[in-house]
Structures are given as C-alpha cells and as structure tokens.
Amino acid sequence: MTDRGARGMPGRGAQGVTGRATLAPETSAFLVLGTGTWAWLALNGAAGTGGGLVIVLAIAVAVAGLPHGALDPWLAHRAGMWRTRLGCAAFHLAYVALAAAVLLAWRWAPGTSLALFLAISAWHFAGDWRDHLPGWSRALAGAALLALPAWRWPDQVSDAFVLLSGASGAAIASALATLAPWLAAGMAGVVLMALRRCRTTALELAAVAALALLLPPLVYFIVYFCALHSVRHLRLAAAGAAPNARRHMGWVALLYTALTLLAAAAVWLWLPTAEPQPWSADLLRLVFIGLAALTLPHMLVVMHAERAAAAAP
C-alpha cells in the first residue's frame, strides 16, 4: 500500500499510471451491464420513465449508490478532518447543515439549484478519471456525460427536469441539448488524447458516451452511477484501508446508508409539488433532490481527502 492510499483516497490501482489496458473490476462490470442492458432493450423495446423503472432506480441507488457516500465520515477521519468526539460532532453537524441548505435552496430556487447540481455533478463525476486527464479535459468529459442524454432523448430529459424544477427545467434541458453536439466533439478529442495516456480511460470515456446515446436517461444513470462511479469509489476506499479496517469500513457504510434511507423517508412528505403527482414522480424527485443534497458535502469531503493524499510525503 502506498502512503497515498494509506492516508486518503488511493490511486487508481487496476488502471495504473503506465497506460496498460488492465480493466478495473468496475470497468468490466460497467461494460457488461451497459452492453447487456442495451441489447435487452433493443430486443424488448426501450424503457421509458414508468413506475417500475423508478423503483429500479431507487433500489439501485440505495444498494449501490448510497454506500460510497456513506463512507464520508470514515474517509474524513482518515484525511484528518476530525480526530476527537467534538470534531466528529462538528463534522456531522456541518455535513447535515450543507445537505439541508441544498434542500432549502431547492424549495426557494429550484431552477438555479438544478443548474448548480448538474455543474457540481459534472465536475464530481469527471473525478473518476483524475489520474489520467488534466482538469480541463475532465470538465469537458463530465459536461458531455450529462449533456448527451438531453441531445438523444430531449423529451425524457425535459420531462424529468420539469418534474425536478418546474418550467426552468425545460430551459436547462434545452440548453444542454444545444451544447451537446459541441461537447460530443470535445469528448471525442478527449478520448483520442486519453489513448496516449491510458487506454482503459479512453475505453471508459467512449463507452460512457455511447451508452449516454443508446440508453434511455434513467437507465443510463443507473448503469453509470451504480456500476462505475459508485463501485469505483468503494473499491478505492477499500484499497486504501488496512485489511483489518475493512470490516469496520463496511459497517460504517451500512450504518450511514441506513440512516440516509431513514432521513429520505422522513423527507418524503416535505417536498410537496404544486399539484398532485403520481407516486413514481414523487419518488423520482426524492431520489434526485436527495442525491443533490448529499452531493455537495460528499464532493467537499472527497476533494479534501484527495488533497490530503496528494500532500502526504
């Protein structure tokens, strides 16, 4: 184990830094699941945004998505963000306060909140390739990752955004669709650049772009977020932990995932809509607005851990 792995978020491990085409486990899972899902939908008809798909989304996020963020208290402790019981209490208070601030902002300014959530998510997701790409190209890839579905599936993305933020959501979806062709061209350039640095990264970026165009938006989000992004964070966290600490890490993830689900249940009725909505619409709003509330503090913890790891001797 390197010092970087011992002190914070570890390096990319299976992808390496030499450009070797060794596939990380989550890369293989993402490619298999994405290809299999596309083939199944091609044979059986494209999925839309029905209640069954929303249930699958909620379960996938709960089982595979939330646990990687649930490790934030553990990761923060390892990165030196808190050491004492008082520090632990302060960390949790700040974390919850940031999440609550996002929820309040969403009630008061849903359009602005959605736009900021998309921008933060693009940068955070782009961190999946931070070891092999410069910041500008990661930002470009992260933006393309979110914009391509709006280009290929404009009605579905617009409907989802309207559900999340009202009339301003349609304008945001339209803006993404307008930018998408330029971002797609930029993404192609980033893939070509990545070929010279790490072929696995190039393969991942190309696959993410392809699936963003081939899979309906919610299906694409499930496959990318749950099979690649979340699993990668979990693997890197486990790789950076001593073997005897991994069981503790697992219990932390389980505990905070359960607490998050309890909090989500409590918030369910706190996010009313202007008019009655089907239960599937309410669940979809709960999932994405809840993820937005957690993304800001989660991203800050990850950024601090990365800086602590980079500064470690």
Taking the C-alpha atoms of residue 286 and residue 269, their distance in angstroms, rounded to an integer, is: 9
Name the pTM for this structure. 0.87
Spell out the per-residue pLDDT of the chain, length 313, in tens: 333 343 445 444 444 444 445 788 999 999 999 999 999 988 887 665 677 889 999 999 999 999 999 999 999 998 889 999 999 999 999 999 999 999 999 989 999 999 999 999 999 999 899 888 998 999 999 999 999 999 999 999 999 999 999 999 999 999 999 999 999 999 999 999 999 888 999 999 999 999 999 999 999 999 999 999 999 999 988 887 888 888 889 999 999 999 999 988 887 766 555 556 777 888 899 999 999 999 999 999 998 888 887 777 6
Residue 200 CB neighbour total at 10 angstroms? 22
Rounded to whole angstroms, what are the CA distances from 289 to 118, 161, 216, 234? 11, 11, 20, 22
DSSP for the chain? --HHHHHSS---GGG-SS---PPPHHHHHHHHHHHHHHHHHHHH----S-HHHHHHHHHHIIIIIHHHHHTHHHHHHHTTS--SHHHHHHHHHHHHHHHHHHHHHHHH-HHHHHHHHHHHHHHHHHGGGTTTS-HHHHHHHHHHHHHHHHHHSHHHHHHHHHHHHTHHHHHHHHHHHHHHHHHHHHHHHHHHHHHTT-HHHHHHHHHHHHHHHHS-HHHHHIIIIIIIIHHHHHHHHHHTS-GGGHHHHHHHHHHHHHHHHHHHHHHGGGS--SS---HHHHHHHHHHHHHHHHHHHHHHHHHHHHHHHHH--
Instruction: Decide if 64 contacts 233 (C-beta within 8 A).
Output: no
